[in-house]
Amino acid sequence: MSRLLLCLLTLVATAGHAQNAATTVVADAVTHEPLAHVSLFTKEGGRFHSVISNTQGVAKVTFPFQRLTVSHLNYERRTVRQLSDTLFLQPRYMSTGEVVVTNKEPEWIRRCLKETVKRKTQNYFTHDGYEQVDFHTQNMGRNNIYRFHLQGLLRTKSPDRKRYALFCDSVNAQIVASDSTRLTDTQNLRRMLYEDFMEDLTRGFISDHRFYHYADYEGKSKDEVKLSFKAKHNTDDRGWLILDTTRCIVLRAYRSTGTKTNRQERIGTLMYGLSKMFGYRVDTFTRDYRVSYGERSDGTLYPAEVRYKMYYAGRDGDSTKEEAEFSEQTGGGFPNMEATMTLSPVTTHPSPDTITWHELPASWYVTFNSEADRQLEVKLSNLPAIFSIYDDNP
């Protein structure tokens, strides 16, 4: 009898730790501003559950949990056992300096930026060589999680810097997911490589944006300045950059773009128009790109550290109401994507004939693939990797 009572008390105590469904607002611990597209997830009873905060930071947790992980690429991860009205996340990056907003933009800003664009081909895109790559990606939907960690060699082919090749082996690539049906996914790696901030920085970009100077920013040298920027016409396009005004090079940069800008730049007006004719809609498409550039011994620069976050929700216009609702919440699969990439040059170059290289083409969002494109995607989806079922470890 005492054993039965003890078991009942244990069950009651365990059940008492499980938080029932509730609503919370996720916010920045410093500014108290609500945070959109934060992942709140758990694995309970062998099943994975998650919810993503909306544009007002509201997350409706409709599943019970004992431990809930709260994750956003630009904030420190938290684990909670109970939901409060507001969940605060500590930012990984603190804002520095005070931006000076004036009616008239200083002339030197555009002059220096145009010179940076003029020199960028020789400063950023002339290196033909090899880098060690360390790539992490985490993609999350309502009932699915996917993590892929890859370490290998990246080969850059100049002069156009539009072609990359990857080498990895089964020891250095690992998939973590909710089930065993997942394949390797290099999409976010390719996005970070081909959508580099310096690719975005053109004379057209300069014309389309306004720039503001951070008066109190203190860099590593007197030549460094910090500029913020906002698009003149699209309110969902903004960011900042650290500029060396003597050498006319960008050292670090951050750009955040929303649905309107991404439809125009990443999909294209013509392609998106064609996709709408076939019943496909892109409801939400947000993207954050943060990069720090490293310098090689020859003085050229490369994206040494990149952090990338994307939320993508698309739907087929012919889908049922239930399918449309699910697609709206999950983007048809993994709507909330986060990835990091670090590159470091290697001095010992391997012989290209001794290892198998995998071509890495530019990624896509909405496109009509040829058969050759599809075959290449199949190859990249079947890179050698070790598979493991998701657990609660980050």
β-partners of residue 280 are 316
The per-residue pLDDT for 109 is: 92
What does the alpha-carbon distance between residue 2 and residue 12 come to, in Å, rounded to a whole number? 15
DSSP classification of residue 388 = E
The mean pLDDT of the chain is 84
> DSSP secondary structure string, 191-223?
HHHHT-HHHH-SHHHHHHEEEEEETT---SSTT
Long-range pairs for 208-213 at CB < 8 Å and ≥24 separation?
208/232, 208/233, 209/237, 210/105, 211/105, 211/109, 211/110, 211/113, 212/99, 212/100, 212/101, 212/102, 212/105, 213/99, 213/100, 213/106, 213/109
CA atoms within 13 A on the CB side of 320: 2
pLDDT score at 15: 41
The helix/strand/coil state of 248 is coil
Rg, Å, the chain Cα set? 23
Residue 332's pLDDT is what? 43
Report pLDDT for 25: 96
CA-to-CA distance for 275 and 318, rounded, in angstroms?
Answer: 13
Residue for token digits 């431990």?
67
**pTM of this prediction?**
0.86
Largest pairwise CA distance in the chain: 86
User: Can you read off the two tokens belonging to residue 95?
Assistant: 């804002």
- Tens-place pLDDT, residues 76-98: 999 999 999 999 999 987 665 56
Mean predicted confidence (pLDDT) in 107-112: 92
Q: What is the DSSP string of 293-330?
A: EEE-TTS-EEEEEEEEEEEEEEEETTS-HHHHHHHHHH
| Cβ–Cβ < 8 Å for 212, 225 | no
**C-alpha torsion 173→175→180→186, nearest 10:** -90
Rounded Cα–Cα distance for residues 144 and 50 (Å)? 8
Q: Give CA 331 to chain center in angstroms.
A: 15
Least confident of 171-175, 202-206, 284-288: 171-175
d(CA 389, CA 81): 23
One-letter identity of residue 209: H
Would the pLDDT of 394 be above 90? no
CB distance 65 to 51 below 8 Å? no
As a whole-number percent, the residues of the chain with pLDDT over 70 amount to 84
Q: How far is residue 21 from each of residues 18, 60, 61, 66, 323, measured CA to CA in Å?
A: 10, 8, 5, 12, 23
pLDDT at 16 over 50: no
Per-residue model confidence (pLDDT) at position 142: 79
pLDDT digits (tens, 9 = 90+) for 28-41: 999 999 999 999 99
Please, which pLDDT band fits residue 171 given cuts at 50, 70 and 90?
low
In this structure, are residues 282 and 249 in contact, taking their beta carbons and an 8 Å threshold?
Answer: no
> What mean pLDDT do residues 157-166 have?
68
Instruction: Please write the tens of the pLDDT for every residue from 302-315.
Output: 999 999 999 988 77
The C-alpha atoms of residue 327 and residue 316 are separated, in whole angstroms, by 8
User: Does the pLDDT value for residue 149 go beyond 80?
Assistant: yes
Separation between Cα atoms, residue 107 and residue 101, nearest integer Å:
14
Give the pLDDT confidence score for residue 94 in this predicted structure.
67
**Percent of all residues in the chain with a pLDDT value above 90, rounded to a whole number:** 47
Spatial separation of the C-alpha atoms in residues 150 and 331, rounded to whole Å: 25
